[in-house]
């Protein structure tokens, strides 16, 4: 099929590459001329495992093109995907101005029947707005061209987007037209061979499904973090609690890992947008408010642990941070917990030595050159002569460190683990003061400035 995708960002590139990979002829439109030129050269502007290879291979095979010219791309298309950004507006809603800009552009150049599909995460009712805007432009042109508007939200995880698109859990299509449903079945047939994953529903339900999915996952994260904080007060171990509740198939183990809060481009934005949507519809979403409130405070937890350990005196201290991206397998630092920690440490006079396998350039782009930030080339270099190490991102690169090397390099053997990667008893046996999320702090065989705060009954093998 002939497909045009508007938007050369994360969703647009993954959609373009994966559809071209199975044999559709795809043109991706982006107004950024420099980005288009980079993409033509096979240079991917974002890090996503496997994506750059797909972009290069599909262009070589003549199945994928990039352009900044919308008119020929619209003329080409049986299907047009709108996959442009929907950033958070001032009132917390998703800003759909770019989506409607595309609708107007399509209306200006449309001459034959096509299906326009909203792929971006958009508020309920956006497809109706797209339809109205296109009809207004066509009426102004004085032409009568048939078209349909449908919803087809993406469910892509950063770091696993190619696999998610190629082997989807579900393919949600919002339409009331059998013709459109058949066209979408044909489009997605290569991804739908094992069993039928395509779910057809009304457009507004499709739009809400995307927000509800992300809000549900964010809720699970905030819930386990709330219980983790309670576990610290009650002397329980959240990792044992997690195993106990996850064994229940009604709950499961997914998204119940305690940590330092969720971030990224989706969960924070989408939960906020859904809350505002509910309020505008006359409904007060108490749970969504609580999810965001818990997450806001959870992002402060690592800094408070560092600050408490050093009795509030961080001036002149050097803190190592392992992990800057909001999650592994991406370089995305949007709303990452690391940013809250970095900025709080700087505000209190500390210096940071940081390492991340992928997000170093992004960190440099965000913060520039600073005397109180050193981006180190390895995780070992990051801990040299530091007063404490903080784990912010659970890269597998960090799962099995050489504790002897850490002990030799660190000024103080203090590890504050925001992802619960390590066994507390092992850390204590190796001589580390170890604090995690939802677990009791354990002192090693070293002098801790906060030793009096740690229940001696819980000090294992110190």
Closest of 113, 125, 134, 111 to residue 179, by C-alpha: 113
- pLDDT tens, 40-52? 999 999 999 999 9
pLDDT digits (tens, 9 = 90+) for 273-300: 999 999 999 999 999 999 999 999 999 9
Tokens of 17: 């590459």
Which of 14-28, 127-141, 170-184, 430-444 is predicted least confidently?
430-444
The confidence band for 444, taking pLDDT boundaries of 50, 70 and 90, is confident
**What CA–CA distance (Å, rounded) separates 268 from 124?**
17
Confidence of residue 319 (pLDDT cuts 50, 70, 90): very high
Tens of pLDDT, residue by residue over 307-317, are 999 999 999 99
Which residues are bridge partners to 28 per DSSP?
Answer: 5, 66
Residue 25 has pLDDT above 90, yes or no: yes
Task: Determine how many CB atoms are found less than 10 A away from the CB of residue 303.
Answer: 24
Query: Is the predicted pLDDT of residue 272 greater than 90, yes or no?
Result: yes
Q: Tell me what pLDDT residue 157 has.
A: 95
The closest alpha carbon to 417, from 403, 435, 441, 438, belongs to 435
- Confidence class for position 195, pLDDT limits 50, 70, 90: confident
Question: Is a pLDDT exceeding 80 seen at residue 93?
Answer: yes
- Average pLDDT value for residue range 445-458: 40
pLDDT above 70: residue 455: no
Range 347-367 average pLDDT: 98
Q: What interhelical angle do 126-141 and 203-234 show, nearest 10?
A: 150
Over residues 111-115, the mean pLDDT reads 97
Which of 10-19, 393-402, 439-448 comes out lowest in average pLDDT?
A: 439-448
- Point out the catalytic residue in the list 266, 307, 363, 392: 266
Q: What is the pLDDT of residue 458?
A: 36
Is residue 430 pLDDT above 70, yes or no?
yes
Kindly state the tokens that stand for 248: 């229940």
In this model, does residue 183 exceed pLDDT 60?
Answer: yes
Task: Report pLDDT for 446.
Answer: 44
Q: What is the pLDDT of residue 459?
A: 37
What is the mean pLDDT of the segment spanning 115-143? 98
pLDDT band at 461; cut points 50, 70, 90: very low
Tell me: pLDDT of 58 over 90: yes
Supply the Cα-derived Rg of the chain in whole angstroms: 25
Confidence (pLDDT) at 91:
87
What is the pLDDT at residue 462? 33
Percent of the chain whose pLDDT exceeds 70? 96
Give the global pTM.
0.93
pLDDT for 330 beyond 50: yes
Residue 445: per-residue pLDDT: 59
Q: What is the mean pLDDT of residues 162-170?
A: 97
Averaged pLDDT of the chain = 95
CA distance 382 to 386: 8
**Residue 443 pLDDT:** 86
Taking only the tens place, the pLDDT of each residue in 214-263 is 999 999 999 999 999 999 999 999 999 999 999 999 999 999 999 999 99
Q: Is 392 a catalytic residue?
A: no
Longest dimension (CA), the chain: 82
> Could you give the CA distance from residue 217 to residue 257 in angstroms, rounded to a whole number?
11
In 281-327, which residue ranges form alpha helices assigned H by DSSP? 286-298, 301-309
Q: Which residues contact 227 (CB under 8 A, 6 or more apart)?
A: 238, 241, 258, 438
At 390, give phi and psi (nearest 5°): -120, 130
Q: Are 184 and 173 in contact (CB under 8 A)?
A: yes
């Amino acid at each position: 099929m002939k497909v045009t995708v508007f938007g050369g960002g994360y969703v647009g590139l993954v959609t373009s590459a994966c559809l071209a990979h199975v044999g559709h002829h795809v043109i991706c439109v982006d107004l950024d001329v420099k980005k288009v030129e980079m993409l033509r050269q096979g240079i991917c502007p974002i890090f996503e495992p496997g994506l750059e290879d797909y972009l290069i291979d599909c262009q070589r095979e003549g199945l994928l093109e990039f352009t900044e010219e919308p008119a020929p791309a619209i003329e080409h298309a049986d299907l047009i995907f709108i996959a442009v950004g929907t950033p958070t507006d001032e009132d917390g809603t998703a800003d759909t101005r770019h989506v409607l800009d595309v609708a107007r552009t399509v209306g200006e150049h449309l001459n034959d029947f096509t299906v326009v599909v909203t792929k971006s995460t958009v508020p309920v009712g956006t497809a109706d707005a797209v339809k109205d805007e296109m009809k207004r432009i066509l009426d102004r042109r004085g032409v009568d061209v048939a078209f349909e508007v449908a919803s087809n939200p993406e469910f892509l995880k950063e770091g696993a987007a190619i696999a998610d698109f190629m082997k989807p859990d579900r393919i949600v299509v919002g339409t009331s037209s059998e013709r459109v449903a058949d066209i979408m079945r044909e489009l997605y047939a290569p991804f739908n061979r094992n069993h039928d994953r395509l779910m057809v529903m009304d457009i507004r339900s499709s739009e809400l499904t995307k927000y509800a999915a992300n809000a549900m996952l964010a809720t699970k994260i905030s819930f386990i973090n709330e219980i983790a904080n309670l576990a610290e007060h009650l002397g329980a171990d959240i990792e044992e609690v997690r195993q106990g509740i996850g064994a229940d198939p009604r709950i499961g183990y997914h998204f119940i890992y305690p940590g330092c809060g969720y971030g990224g481009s989706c969960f924070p934005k989408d939960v906020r947008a859904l809350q505002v949507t509910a309020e505008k519809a006359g409904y007060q979403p108490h749970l969504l408010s609580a999810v965001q409130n818990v997450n806001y405070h959870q992002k402060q937890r690592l800094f408070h642990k560092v600050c408490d350990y050093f009795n509030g005196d961080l001036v002149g201290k050097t803190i190592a941070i392992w992990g800057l991206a909001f999650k592994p397998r991406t370089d995305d630092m949007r709303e990452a917990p690391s940013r809250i920690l970095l900025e709080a440490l700087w505000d209190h006079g500390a210096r940071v030595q940081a390492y991340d396998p992928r997000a170093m350039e992004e960190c440099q782009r965000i913060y520039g050159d600073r005397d109180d930030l050193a981006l180190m080339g390895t995780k070992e270099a990051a801990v040299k002569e530091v007063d404490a190490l903080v784990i912010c991102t659970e890269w597998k690169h960090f799962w099995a460190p050489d504790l002897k090397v850490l002990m030799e390099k660190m000024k103080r053997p203090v590890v504050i683990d925001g992802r619960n990667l390590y066994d507390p008893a092992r850390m204590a046996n190796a001589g580390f003061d170890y604090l995690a999320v939802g677990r009791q702090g354990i002192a090693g065989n070293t002098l801790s400035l906060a030793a009096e705060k740690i229940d001696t009954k819980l000090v294992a093998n110190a």
